[in-house]
Structure formats: C-alpha cells, structure tokens
Amino acid sequence: MFKFNKIIFMIMLIMSSLISISAYSWFSMWLGLEINLLTVIPLFLKKSNKYPSESMMKYFFIQALASTLILYSILMSFNLNSTFISKFSIVLNSALLMKMGAAPFHFWFPEIIEGLNWNNTLIILTWQKLAPMIMLSYSMMNPTFICFSIIFSSIISGIQGLNQISLRKIMAYSSINHNGWMISNLLVSSDMWLFYFMIYTFISMNLIYAFKLFKINMIQQLMNILNYNKLVKISILLNFLSLGGLPPFIGFLPKWLTIYFMTEKTFLFLTNILIICTLIVLYFYLRLILSTLTFKIKESLIFSFKKMNIIFLFINSINFTGLILTSIFPI
Amino acid sequence: MMKFLFMMVFLTPLCFFSYWYLSLFLFYLSFLFIFMFNISKDYSFLSYNFGLDLLSYSMVMLSFWICSLMLLASAKIFKKKDYYELFMFNILFLMFSLFMVFSSLNFFIFYLFFEISLIPTFFLIIGWGYQPERISAGKYLLFYTLLASLPMMVGIFFIFKSVNSLDFYFLSLNLDNFLFYLCINMVFFVKMPMYLIHLWLPKAHVEAPISGSMILAGVMLKLGGYGLFRVMKMFLNMGLKINFIFITISLIGSVYMSLICLQQSDIKLLIAYSSVSHMGLVLSGLLTLNLMGMWGSLVLMLGHGLCSSGLFCLANISYERLNSRSLYLNKGLMNFMPTLSMWWFLFCISNMAAPPSLNLLGEVLLINSLIIYSKLTMIMLALFSFFSACYSLFLYSYTQHGLFSSGIYSFTYISNREFLLLVLHWIPLNFLIFKGEIFSVWI
C-alpha cells in the first residue's frame, strides 16, 4: 500500500535536518530540530500493535525536554550578552547529547528503539544524529565535558550491550559506541566526522536491510536464515565485523583515520580508552556471527526461503573491497 | 614483487573451481619465489611500498611453502566437500596477507596486514575446527591479539607524528619511555607468544584443523619475531635497560613449558607447548640485541616453522586414522605404520635439535648469544635443552612403541600425498643447513 503521508513526512524530516544544519542563527537551528521531532513521530506509527505508540510517546517527551533545554540555554546566553557563555554551553551540549542518545543521557535510546520497526530504527540510528552532531560541533566550548561523554559512551555501550539478545538493542548499544567515536571525531576534525558518519550509515543500512528482509528480531533467529547459501550469509553478517572495525573491511577505515587524527592532536589516553572499549563491543558482534562461521552446525531447520537480489550482494561487496579501493583511489 | 601479487590475485577464481589445481599453482608460486633468491641484507626487489631483504625473503618463502603444504595436508576437507571453496579462498587470502606483511617497507602497511592475517586464521579455526570449544579458542586468539595490537596503532601514529615517516628504514626514534615500548612491542610478545601471555596458543592449536595448526605454528608465531626484528631498532636504549625482564620471563617460561609438555596426554597440546617453549628461546635471543641472537632467531624461526608444522601434520595423520589425539590411544603405531614411524623419529629429533636440522644451528647460535648476554642464563638453557630432548623423546616413544590400543578400528595405510607432505617439510628443514651461512650470517 502506498502511503502518501509517510512520503510527505519523510521529505519534511530530511528538510528539517537540513534546515538546522544550514541555519544561520541558533534559533532557526532549534526550529529545525522541532520540525524534525514533529515529523519523525508520525513515521513511527503502526496500527497493528501498541509498541510503536509507546515509543512515540517516550521519544516525544525526551526530545521535547532536550529542545526546551536547548531553547533555554540559547535564550539565556544570548540575552545576557551576545557571546556564548561556557556555563550554558554545558547545558546546550547536554541537551544535544540527549537528542542524539550519547552516553550519560542514553537511557531512553534502547528502550525506544526496541518498540520500532527496522526502517524507523535506521532513521533513529543514523539520520536523527546528523543535526544534533553538527550543532554540537558548533558549540563545543568545554572539551572536558565532551571527553567525559565520549568515555561514558564507549564504556557503557560495551558493558550493557553484552547482555542483550534483541538485535535492535544490540544495534542501539553499538550506535552509542559509535556515538563515542563520532563525537571524538568532532573534537579533532569535522571532515573525519562526515566520513565516519557516512561509513557508519552505510554499514548499518546494509545490516538493517538484511534484518528487515529476513524478519530477524532476536539473535537466535540469525542461526536459521539463509543456510542454503553460506556465502551470502557470510557476506551479510561480516558487516558486523566491519561495524566493529576489523581491518579487511571498510569499517576499519574511519577508525584508522580517527585514531590517526586523535593521535596527532595527542588525545592518547582518550584514544586508548575508545579502542579498548570497542573491543568489548566487538565481542558481542562476534557472538552474533559465530553461528555463521561455525560451518558444521545442524542445518535442518530452514525457515526463510526468500531469495537474495543481486544488488544487495553488490552493495555488500563494497564492505570487503572498500578498504582496498580507497587505498587505490586516495581521498 | 608485483608478479607474485598479481599471481595471487588472479588465482582467486581458481579457488572456486579446483582444489588440486590451486595446490599445484601454489607450489608453482613457491618455486618461482625460490628461484628469485639473490638477496643480501639490503633491500632488493623494491617497488611501491614493498621490498625484500633476507629476513623478509625467508619469511615470505616460509609462508608460501606452509600455505602450499596446508592445501596438501587438508585433503580431507576436499573429500568431504566441507565448504572447500571457501577454505581455499581463505588460504589464498591468508597467503596474500602474509606476503604483504613480510614484504612491506612501511610500518603501517605491516600493521594493517598483520591484523588482516588474523581474520582468515580466525575463520579457519572457527569454520573447520572439530569441537565446539573452537569458538572460545577463536575468541581467545582474536582478543588476545587485538587487545595488544590496537594500542600499537596509536603507537605507530605517534611515531609518524615524531618522525614524519613510517618506513622501516627511517625508524630512528629513540624514546626512553616504557609505555611506548610496551605499546609497540606487546603485540609481538603476544604473537610470539611470550610465556604468561601464551594462553591463546595451546587452545587455538588444539581446536584448529590441521591447516590452522600448520599456519599458526609455521608462520603466525613468526610474525611476532619478524616485527621485533623491525622495531627493535627504535628501542636500543630502552632495550638495554629493560629487555632483561622479558628475557628472564621467556627463558623461565621455556623451561616451564618443557616441563608442562612432559605431562601432556594430548599430542597436539604437547606440540603446541613445545612451540611456546622454542619461541621463548627465539624471543630471548632476539631481545639480547646481539649479532648471534639475531642470526640464531631467524634460523630457529625457520627451523621451528617447518619442524612443528611437520609434527602437526604427523599428529593429524594419526588423528585421521585413530580419531583421537590422546597419547593413551595413539600407542604402538610402529606396529601398523612402520614407515610413518621413521618420519615421527625424524621430526622428533629435529624438534630436539639433533644434528642435521636448522633447529640445531639456531639453538647453538641462540645459546651462544644468551651466554654472551649473561652467564646466569646457562642454568635455564641447560634445563631447556635437556627437557626439550626429553619431551621429543617422550612424544616419539609413547606414540610409536608399546602395545597398541585394542579399540582401534581398521584404517588405510599412509597415502603418497601424506608422504609427500612430510618429505616437503623435512627436506628444507634438514638440507638448508648445508648452506646455513646464507640464513645465519645475514646482517
């Protein structure tokens, strides 16, 4: 069924993020964020069960709170005198971190994602982070606070994600971890941030498309898909290793550049913490793909018979060859 | 250089067609590489970021040879149609990445392919291993190495910031910083593996299929030694101060590991611990930073690579027939397979560094270098040599002599393929010593 309203809201969602990242004044940025909130909520709607409505409510409350804080800090700091005061920049930064779901303000994030379908999960994981992150890069007056958030993101995502069996929550915690990386990118170079964001979006898109296609919600279900074609199954699930940042895959590239830039700016301690905590995240990614890699598993239960389309395989091949291609054609 | 790279890249489609053709072509590649031997201590065959000196040459040679033999050794995967296309692709990819590791002139490319070579090894263990415990073994392998290697990336970029180049030739940074020393060297210690951080190795060896064991013992352990060779130039001052710690740990560890070997009941575990013990000697010889240590560690790395890989092959030949790796069941094999018994004997004596083997040359040089370093090492060295002879003899006599287990079912005799496999391990191991000066007097 062709849903015209969803198309309209989707366009408005994109437009509103663009409004807030290209705005000239803080007030219009706030305006863009508000439009963004009000257009993404109808997209969540699904009439068959009540979980999306719950997520919609929670999402609305959290984002409204964050928007209020943003508006408050903007008004307070610019009313007093027209320079940005560091005290209010912490309030503003907290609100933005809350909007994107970075660590000390992350508690809503997995809960809300749990109630959504995969398309909306993809929107929340990637596109909804664009505007707050750009705004954060404009207003980082207090790097210590940001570093605090980065360290929290990486530690918390690793430890909390270990316990999950729902793929949505795992994607959410992995997204919190990547938040840590992306915010640390914002500290050193916004070009690198763009690069990281693009590749992260690409990999999550690959994974989430596969999850949607094969209707996977829990990690046990990963065992039963696509057992008639191991090659395709491996090529899908190796995206997880890419997300964890292991070398022959494309996901290593942004991590490499991030570590390079951060070391150059002598963020040595922060980089080491990020790296070590990403290993914990890698551990639970690895747990997901082990069912694929242990070839001798019992393969009598085949539930899904959907055939792969060639385009999907082609997109996945970028995952393997991306690192080599970028070394041939330097950026 | 480029021809080998291209040959490996264009062999990729062959992976999905024929097992034995790929094996043939890999041997062809190895022999092409042997004929290229006109190499001195300086870099030659330079192109782009790649080149070979004698150290790289011998390591690339070893990895080509072991990778070709891996295909020869694991014909069972082909016979059982156990995803053998993916298996071949894995081996080819592993070979490609090892080639890039050993021939790269750039520290970062070295690091990149060092990590890449981890992935196919991990897949080999997880994919074609035998017991369910292979999952934890694979995780051990991956996380031990990654935990140590990712801080090394920070270290590498720190070098780049200071020196503005990452070529091995220009690594002239001399930092007296213990943390930096650990950052760079810890991954090589894990990979060697040094005693105390060796726990991943026995697990990985026990769970890996024969090809995984061969590549682990044959080449992956040597990655650590190769890396230390390359980076020790940066730590001359620091090394003089604190290398004694690691030398002590690895020498004591060698003796401990030899003692542990003597109480094993699992053939593969015994060979794995023996390789930890030998690599401990290599590591301590390398860290003495004297000339004989350098010579000896290269020779012992080559010798140990061939010898332990051959021992794993022997263990696998027994395993395929008896379906057990236990020393209590693998008894009295001389009654059934007397010719194989000769091969067990030849490899066991090579493992204990008996005369016509590279291990002898390597151990003599390393023992010299360590005694030059400190007289106190003589105690540990004496114990090490004695116990290494002990466990090799233990392995030989327990598997070959005595009454055979009554639970053995009928099995086939050793095929020509398996004899060829053993011969191709044994010939370089025992014939290279006749031209030993090219590998020993190389700096």
* Distance from C-alpha of B229 to C-alpha of B222, rounded to nearest angstrom: 10
Q: Which of B114, B146, B149, B179 to mutate to test the interface with A (most CBs of A within 10 A)?
A: B146
Cis peptide before A52 (omega within 30 of 0): no
Distance from the Cα of A114 to chain B's closest Cα (Å) equals 28
* Cβ-based neighbours of A210, under 8 Å, separated by 6 or more: A216, A236, A239, A312
Closest C-alpha among B147, B279, B284 to residue B201: B279
Full pLDDT tens readout for chain A, 331 residues: 677 888 899 999 999 999 999 988 888 999 999 999 999 998 888 878 888 889 999 999 999 999 999 998 888 877 655 566 666 788 889 999 999 999 889 999 999 999 898 999 999 999 999 999 999 998 888 888 999 999 999 999 999 999 899 999 999 999 999 999 999 999 998 889 999 999 999 899 988 988 888 888 888 888 777 666 677 777 778 889 999 988 888 889 999 999 999 999 888 899 999 999 999 999 999 988 887 777 665 554 444 445 556 666 677 777 777 777 766 655 4
Mean of the per-residue pLDDT values of chain B = 91
Total structural domains within chain B: 1
* pLDDT at site A258: 93
Counting residues of chain B whose pLDDT is more than 90, the rounded percentage is 66
The 10s digit of each residue's pLDDT in B49-94 is 888 888 999 999 999 999 999 999 999 889 888 888 889 999 999 9
The 10s digit of each residue's pLDDT in B165-187 is 888 888 877 778 889 999 999 99
The 10s digit of each residue's pLDDT in B13-36 is 998 888 999 999 999 999 999 998
Closest C-alpha among A5, A260, A26 to residue A139: A26
**Residue-number span of the structural domain to which B314 is assigned:** 2-440
Distance from the Cα of A272 to chain B's closest Cα (Å) equals 6
B75 CB neighbour count, 10 Å cutoff:
19
Query: Are the Cβ atoms of B83 and A246 closer than 8 angstroms?
Result: no
> Which range is least confidently modeled, B202-211, B229-238, B434-443?
B434-443
CA distances (Å), A82 to each of A28, A143, B338, in order?
A: 16, 21, 93
* pLDDT at site A304: 47
Helix B2-10 and helix B84-103: axis angle, to 10°? 170
DSSP B372-403: HH-TTHHHHHHHHHHHHHHHHHHHHHHHHSSP
Region of B164 on the Ramachandran plot (φ > 0 left; ψ -120 to 50 alpha; else beta)? left
Contact status of A230 with chain B (Cβ, < 8 Å): yes
Q: B435 vs A148, which has greater pLDDT?
A: A148
* pLDDT at site A303: 47
* Distance from C-alpha of A15 to C-alpha of A154, rounded to nearest angstrom: 31
| pLDDT at residue B341 tops 80 | yes
Query: Are the Cβ atoms of B142 and A286 closer than 8 angstroms?
Result: yes
Closest C-alpha among B399, B420, B325 to residue B129: B325
| pLDDT at residue B42 tops 90 | no
* pLDDT at site A331: 47
Contact status of B123 with chain A (Cβ, < 8 Å): yes
Nearest chain A Cα to B180, which residue?
A268
* pLDDT at site A300: 46
* pLDDT at site A301: 47
- Long-range (24+ apart) CB contacts under 8 A made by B158-166 are B158/A263, B158/A268, B158/B183, B159/B107, B159/B234, B160/A260, B160/B108, B161/A263, B161/A264, B166/B106, B166/B107, B166/B108
Residues of B in contact with A276 (CB under 8 A): 147, 150-151
Is the Cβ–Cβ distance between A77 and A37 less than 8 Å?
A: no
Contact status of A263 with chain B (Cβ, < 8 Å): yes
Contact status of A293 with chain B (Cβ, < 8 Å): yes
Would the CA dihedral through A102, A104, A106, A108 be positive or negative? negative
Region of B71 on the Ramachandran plot (φ > 0 left; ψ -120 to 50 alpha; else beta)? alpha
* Distance from C-alpha of B295 to C-alpha of B88, rounded to nearest angstrom: 34
The 10s digit of each residue's pLDDT in B353-392 is 888 899 999 999 999 999 999 999 999 999 999 999 999 9
Q: Which of A233, A271, A281 to mutate to test the interface with B (most CBs of B within 10 A)?
A: A271
Contact status of B291 with chain A (Cβ, < 8 Å): no
Query: Are the Cβ atoms of A275 and B153 closer than 8 angstroms?
Result: yes
* pLDDT at site A82: 57
Is the Cβ–Cβ distance between A72 and A91 less than 8 Å?
A: yes
* Distance from C-alpha of B321 to C-alpha of A261, rounded to nearest angstrom: 55
Chain B, 143 to 202: residues with Cβ < 8 Å from chain A are 143, 146-147, 150-151, 153-154, 157-158, 160-161
Residues of B in contact with A278 (CB under 8 A): 150
Tokens of A262: 């951060």
Distance from the Cα of A58 to chain B's closest Cα (Å) equals 38
- The one-letter amino acid at A208: I
CA distances (Å), B254 to each of A64, B251, B384, in order?
A: 64, 5, 7
Number of helices (H), then strands (E), in chain B: 20, 2
At A25, phi and psi to the nearest 5? Answer: -125, 160
Coil, strand, or helix at residue B130? Answer: coil
CA angle (A212 as vertex; A206, A218 as ends), nearest 5: 100
ipTM higher than 0.95? no
Tokens of A36: 């963004």
Residues of B in contact with A263 (CB under 8 A): 154, 157-158, 161
